[in-house]
Amino acid sequence: MSDLISPQSSREKLLVIQPLVGIGDMIWHKPWIDYLCTQNDVILATKPTVQAPVLFADTDGLVDILPIDRSQRGTRGRHDGWRGFWQLVADFKSTGARRALILHHSPRYAIAAFFAGMTSRWGYGIGRQRLWLNKGQFLEKSARKMHPIAKMRIYAARNAFAIDPVWRLNISPAANKAADEFMSAHTINAASDMLILGIGAMDEDRCWPLEKFAEFITSLAKKRPQLTCCLMGRHQNSPW
């Protein structure tokens, strides 16, 4: 059994560090983090932009979320630079965890875990990061360019927490209420056939042109007149 799995008699804290910036980045890793939450008391260190409180709503075993405040869309945060590094060390130490799993190849988080006194440190071990890790089986250098899901599959299999990944989201009561209110306000029947279109992306060059969405919706309206189309995007004043 891997040390990433707590003994049944005593669940232990595990700091899971996933520092990528996008919501999709976290979704790719989610099934494995969900599984680790069933075996440990997990503190998830990640960037606010991934919306972890939404993605992991009501997840048993997730005891805290630690925001990583650095390298977010070109802005500097409290964890950037050398002063920020030591703040990151202090924040890691404050979790009370003695074990850390780093789902990234950066050596920065492995070094921070070392100075935070984490006695067991797992990670991909690609490049210089390997020097600061002391547990588990590492990935080859070539894995650095793999898709995150493929990378997770291989790493988990080598470290005794392989799973058949299933992607699930827990819908919070507040989210259910907001959806009901939206449908009521727009006179949408609960039994309607609905298509939700996400019309934005983090970077402008990754956004599909609005004209294309308009063409797509017009085509759907002709072929499926009973279908209700809803557009979902980020309001300029929203924290999302």
- Measured in whole angstroms, how far is the alpha carbon of residue 191 from the centre of its chain? 31
| pLDDT on residue 233 | 74
Identify the pLDDT of residue 126: 96
Closest CA to 53 of 148, 174, 198: 174
pLDDT of residue 203: 67
Which residues in the chain show pLDDT less than 70? 1-2, 7-9, 73-74, 191, 202-203, 234-240
Q: Buried (b) or exposed (e) across 5-27, using 16+ Cβ within 10 A?
A: bbeeeebebbbbbbbbbbbebbb
> Tens of pLDDT along 167-179?
999 988 888 898 8
- What pLDDT does residue 131 have? 97
- Residue ranges of domains in the chain: 13-158, 186-232
pLDDT at 8: 61
Q: Which of 106, 127, 109, 105 is nearest to 45 (CA)?
A: 109
pLDDT of residue 101: 98
Q: How many CA atoms lie within 13 A of 202 on its CB side?
A: 12
Radius of gyration, alpha carbons of the chain: 21
Instruction: Print burial letters for 54-69: b (CB count within 10 Å at least 16), e (below 16).
Output: ebbbebebbbeebbbb
Q: Which class in CATH covers the domain with range 13-158? A: alpha beta
What torsion do the CA atoms of 159, 161, 166, 171 make, to the nearest 10 degrees?
A: -110
The encoded tokens of residue 29 equal 């890793």
Nearest to 42 by CA among 20, 66, 26: 66
